[in-house]
Structure 1
Amino acid sequence: MPDADLLDGELELTGRITTASNATFLGEIAGVTVVYKPIAGENPLWDFPDGDLASREAAAYLVSEAFGWNVVPRTWLRDGPMGPGMTQLWQDADPEQDAVDLVPAEEVPADGWRQVLEGEDGNNRRVALIHEDSAALRRMAVFDIVVNNADRKGDHILAMPDGHRHGVDHGLTFHAEHKLRTVLWGWIGDDLSDDELAGVDRVRAQLAGDLGDTLAALLTPAELAALAARCDRLRSEGRFPGPEGEMPAVPWPLF
């Protein structure tokens, strides 16, 4: 579909996603299914009090494109039935796959998975939070570090039928202060691969050019400076970081 159709074609709402914390709708543009989040439906948060979250979602897509890994589905800003907002191409995830899971603590798989934490469920049973040990999920974790994702829940990871993993819901990103809250802590201390380092290099280089110019309309100067600094730090250390500071390391709820 031509870009003009997605940007200017009529956006018809077909349903509402009621589990979302902000107003989130399903819609269609010339037969293409999209997710639409109007700025007017955003709820201010204590650590993101002045929004707008839609711009952060659009910025996350642009950084994803700079990485070259297709982490974030195509996302753009446009007008809609409830005013300006974020629009994103809908993805049909595979309901039979779970990239992140809670399992009984004694049943953590020996291979192909990483354990993040262990705790008790509502019935006082020991459970473990795990995620798959895959290249696609590692790339998403690197992306989250760079964009400072404060809300990487398990359900924000879409397991696609072909093994690809998309990340969605990136309104809580790009804060100038450290805010990383994620379920993807399974690689703490592991070295970044050459591919992952090259992705960070691509983002950092493009911040000095067209990417930085475009993001300047979506983020504050302090947030842009912090984005560049995170790239530099990650590249210098060359490994997956661990939690830091006093804030929670994982989002709540986890899914």
Structure 2
Amino acid sequence: MTEAIIRLSGVYKHYLIGEEKTSILHGIDLSIARGEMAVIRGMSGSGKTTLLNIIGGLDTVDAGEAIVAGHPLHRLNFKEMTRFRAENLGFIFQFHNLIPTLSVMENVLSGLEAMRPLKHADEQLALHYLTQVGLAGHENKFPNRLSGGQQQRVAIARALIKHPAVILADEPTGSLDEETGRTVMQLLRQLQTEQKTTVVMVTHNPELSRYANHVYEMRSGHLQTHTLQALEPV
């Protein structure tokens, strides 16, 4: 049986808005094997982004256990959590989170710099991934000179360059045209199959389900499993 790299057991999460307690996740159980791609769908407010943030150590559980890449996230302190994210995760955020004072090249390299000192060959690696996402020739530009779709592609290259154990993606193709979105998904599938990278993706787009090993639906803080069709070829 393939090892589970992500395992959530009885995870609950709530937020306080004023004095009112709002429950977001209700006893989530989830197991994702190393090298699989999982898609989590759901309406806005269903809890899917909160679930992604818990897997990524960006949010904490109120009850239950969250174990990712062998790390019990519910027990890590701030310093341990920061190191865990740098060494194990690649993030592709819906709103890019690029550093405005850094060039495209520097933004991509910042993904590696959080893990280790940069090497001379890293610039060529960054250029490789920028080419893969269609941004060759843009490496010296700054984020404010790019369109929203181009900024998203920089964020994707920044995540891919780390060759992380787990990539967490929040609407990774949301601001891309259809052709570029397909290229990005094929890149993620290639990482998944060749390097056993685990991909967890939150999306509203049902078309992305065809790339996944497992599809889940978040409804009012509860997780349901979907039956899948044949996978899209790499």
TM exceeding 0.5: no
Q: Which has the higher contact order (CA 8 A, sep 6+)?
A: 2
TM-score (norm 1): 0.27
Instruction: Give the structure with the larger strand fraction.
Output: 2
TM-score (norm 2): 0.29
